[in-house]
Chains A and B, each alone.
Chain A
């Protein structure tokens, strides 16, 4: 090779390597220390709602009537908020000045059953009981491959699952991966209210996953139909057609909500 060409080649390589290295240095190490170190989300974030059962009845009734998702029940016998129906719009907090319902920045929202999603006096904090899934933990605790299917999702839920693969959350450090084929998967992450047009494809994907299969419903759409619950074009709620193992509420759930749910439910640690 003539010397000029070699020099030119050298220069290009150097520039390239420099840029790569400089960027690498600038970017540094960005992965969150979570779950070993707690993360605090900024104050406006609407996470786990706190219910004040002592609020006055008029305010409670007002919230019940004004909740666009019919997620609130307030009468003398029962006061409850269904996390599966709620889309975290904050209307009830605004109407009650936070005196009946107040949204905290706690992002721990997932549960293993529909019943646990209903927050009431007996069930104030949504949680995943650790005992119930010893077997699951044994099977999938160190390696879990999931397939994602969007069945009418608005792309916000999907985007916030996708984001788990970015360096900040780095899902794969927990041995959890989103895979490209149902044949490689141990389970399915479902988003969306299941549009009728996607029902068949969803069921076929389910069939194609080898047993035993885990089904995770992400977002209020997948849990209850979300804002589309009155539409005739959707099935509404995954558990109407498939057994669901894990419910992750939100519209969309914060990536940390999903991450925490996956760790709590599957991880051995």
Chain B
């Protein structure tokens, strides 16, 4: 009875089955039992009426690429029995719904606020283990390094961590409210999207752009040329590269093996500089906008990027060889922070963390957004990297493999750009004499369009942390009534808490780094 739909498909609210809560509840649970995972579960208010919407995905593990999204809506009950009590993966989603819509979700083991000021007040009750040999360790919100704030509360027995509770919300800037509040100004919203999580600026703006493009049905008009898509994909992969490489370095630094830390740290900068070459900003800000890219790239740049990639690839291989063959690294990475396959599925982990635990899911392969569908047809798409041990070692190795994949994808796409006889189009219209008047026309035309009324659109991309999705709901006056951003960290913070169970507390920095989750992307 759920509606099956595609990524970026434009849905009318009236098309989506509105189900009685009782049926909704049973159906969700039965789908979850069959292995479905949550993409979104959120509340929204339409015509003064509280409703709940769920978006689920099913992933085909037999390579038939039969991957699907399902959606349904129900009237929000004032109280109900928590899904979390049956499926852990609902944990944060239900807390969020409780916080925003004060629905009494019974039987939820930890029904606390997620982001609001009440998370910070004295009332906030940490989970307490009592007993003679139990003690608590509190860390944060301000951390020792240069990183976002969050509070970690450990219940320990000696050095052993029995339980870790992660309290976030410190970075809450009211992003989603800001989107609905302001009138629909594409320039402003695009800038905002790039600032939701700076390390995922490209992923966020790309997902937003794709969402707006499908809202205006621009894809059909043929405005989104393959050149545009190629540049976007290159930016997305460069973002992945810089972050994965930074992570490998930081992991090495965390166990005090400094050479790779220094080398990778510098190489990360090289990739950021390539993004700067593409966009004028080290994080790719200002490159992608709905229906357009602002880039200046010519054959010279393409050759330069290719040369740089080749240079870096050799260095990365050499440093990785050093990293992964060093006995101390093997000792410290192996068997630490283990998440087994079942736990990963139960928690609904995504991205690197999930693949390291044998979950075969990568948006780039499973849902083929943007240019990945072309790559797939040409047989040049990535292969999903998978490992089974689910420890720090696996998470590091997956990153390394994905680095190699990304470099080869970018090289492919650069070839593709070069082979075009008319790469003038790539040279970006900004050098045209009347670029600004054309741009103004274009902008006004886009801005004058109304968003579709009473519609829902879901856009998904594989950021470097994992599945990042945006969901937009409009009312009958085409106003955005709900814009939901879900960073992969929303799934994966629970993974970190699990990974720490029964670990030495001194392994925390290492485990934390192996997940490297977002504070601001979570807090919004």
| A interface list, Cβ under 8 A from B | 12, 15-16, 19-20, 22-24, 26-27, 30, 41-46, 62, 66, 68-69, 87-91, 94-97, 103, 148-163, 165-168, 178, 180-181, 192-193, 195-198, 200-201, 205, 221, 226-228, 230-234, 251-252, 254
Can you report 14 A-B residue pairs in the complex whose CB atoms are below 8 A from each other? A20-B322, A27-B262, A44-B276, A62-B440, A66-B187, A68-B187, A94-B435, A152-B520, A156-B195, A160-B282, A161-B146, A195-B172, A197-B171, A233-B173
- Interface size bucket, B side? 35 or more
Docked-complex contact A23 and B277, CB < 8 angstroms: no
| B interface list, Cβ under 8 A from A | 115, 117, 119-120, 141-142, 144-149, 169-175, 177-178, 181-182, 185, 187-188, 190-192, 195-199, 201, 246, 259, 262-263, 265-266, 268-269, 272-273, 276-283, 285-286, 294-296, 315, 318-319, 321-322, 325-327, 430, 435-436, 439-440, 518-520, 523
Which residue from chain B places its CB closest to the CB of A41 in the assembled complex? B276
Docked-complex contact B201 and A46, CB < 8 angstroms: no
Question: Binding site of B, secondary structure by majority: helix, strand, loop or mixed?
Answer: helix
Which residue from chain A places its CB closest to the CB of B181 in the assembled complex? A230
Q: A154-B520, A155-B518, A156-B195 are in contact. List 5 more A-B contacts (CB 8 A).
A: A26-B315, A66-B187, A201-B170, A228-B192, A232-B174
Task: Say how far A181's CB is from chain B's closest CB, in angstroms.
Answer: 7
Task: Say how far B329's CB is from chain A's closest CB, in angstroms.
Answer: 11
Chain B contacts of A180 at CB under 8 A? 144-145
Candidates B277, B285, B327; contact of A251 at CB < 8 Å? B285
Q: What is the CA–CA distance of A233 and B295 in the complex, to the nearest angstrom? A: 34
Chain B contacts of A231 at CB under 8 A? 173-175, 177-178
Candidates B141, B197, B266; contact of A168 at CB < 8 Å? B266
Closest 3 CB pairs of A and B: A156-B198, A233-B174, A180-B144
Docked-complex contact A91 and B187, CB < 8 angstroms: yes
Which residue from chain A places its CB closest to the CB of B185 in the assembled complex? A68
Chain A contacts of B174 at CB under 8 A? 228, 231-234
Instruction: Tally A-B pairs: CB < 8 A.
Output: 213
Candidates B170, B182, B277, B325; contact of A195 at CB < 8 Å? B170
Task: Say how far B171's CB is from chain A's closest CB, in angstroms.
Answer: 5
Chain A contacts of B322 at CB under 8 A? 19-20, 23
Question: Binding site of A, secondary structure by majority: helix, strand, loop or mixed?
Answer: mixed
Q: What is the CA–CA distance of A200 and B182 in the complex, to the nearest angstrom? A: 28
Docked-complex contact A88 and B147, CB < 8 angstroms: no
Q: Which of B185, B263, B518 has the most CB of A within 10 A?
A: B263
Which residue from chain B places its CB closest to the CB of A27 in the assembled complex? B263
Docked-complex contact B277 and A19, CB < 8 angstroms: no
Docked-complex contact B440 and A195, CB < 8 angstroms: no
Docked-complex contact B173 and A152, CB < 8 angstroms: yes
Docked-complex contact A44 and B259, CB < 8 angstroms: no
Q: What is the CA–CA distance of A254 and B285 in the complex, to the nearest angstrom? A: 12
Q: What is the CA–CA distance of A168 and B272 in the complex, to the nearest angstrom? A: 13
Docked-complex contact A42 and B285, CB < 8 angstroms: no
Q: What is the CA–CA distance of A178 and B145 in the complex, to the nearest angstrom? A: 8
Which residue from chain B places its CB closest to the CB of A87 in the assembled complex? B191
Chain B contacts of A156 at CB under 8 A? 195, 198-199, 201, 282-283, 285
Chain A contacts of B285 at CB under 8 A? 88-89, 156, 251
Which residue from chain B places its CB closest to the CB of A95 in the assembled complex? B436
Chain B contacts of A94 at CB under 8 A? 294, 430, 435-436, 439
Which residue from chain A places its CB closest to the CB of B144 in the assembled complex? A180
Docked-complex contact A155 and B199, CB < 8 angstroms: yes
Q: What is the CA–CA distance of A83 and B518 in the complex, to the nearest angstrom? A: 28
Docked-complex contact A68 and B188, CB < 8 angstroms: yes
Docked-complex contact A22 and B318, CB < 8 angstroms: yes
Chain A contacts of B520 at CB under 8 A? 152-155
Which residue from chain A places its CB closest to the CB of B189 in the assembled complex? A68
Chain A contacts of B327 at CB under 8 A? 12, 16
Q: What is the CA–CA distance of A149 and B145 in the complex, to the nearest angstrom? A: 9
Chain B contacts of A168 at CB under 8 A? 266, 269
Docked-complex contact A150 and B283, CB < 8 angstroms: no
Given known A-B contacts A87-B191, A88-B281, A155-B199, A230 and B276 have beta carbons under 8 A apart: no
Chain B contacts of A197 at CB under 8 A? 115, 117, 119-120, 169-172, 523
Candidates A23, A44, A227; contact of B279 at CB < 8 Å? A44
Task: Say how far B493's CB is from chain A's closest CB, in angstroms.
Answer: 15
Q: What is the CA–CA distance of A154 and B201 in the complex, to the nearest angstrom? A: 9
Chain A contacts of B188 at CB under 8 A? 68, 227
Task: Say how far A255's CB is from chain B's closest CB, in angstroms.
Answer: 8
Task: Say how far A71's CB is from chain B's closest CB, in angstroms.
Answer: 11
Candidates A20, A24, A150, A162; contact of B149 at CB < 8 Å? A150
Chain B contacts of A91 at CB under 8 A? 187
Docked-complex contact A27 and B315, CB < 8 angstroms: yes
Docked-complex contact B440 and A205, CB < 8 angstroms: no
Chain A contacts of B148 at CB under 8 A? 150, 153, 155, 158
Q: Which of B115, B268, B436 has the most CB of A within 10 A?
A: B436
Task: Say how far A14's CB is from chain B's closest CB, in angstroms.
Answer: 12
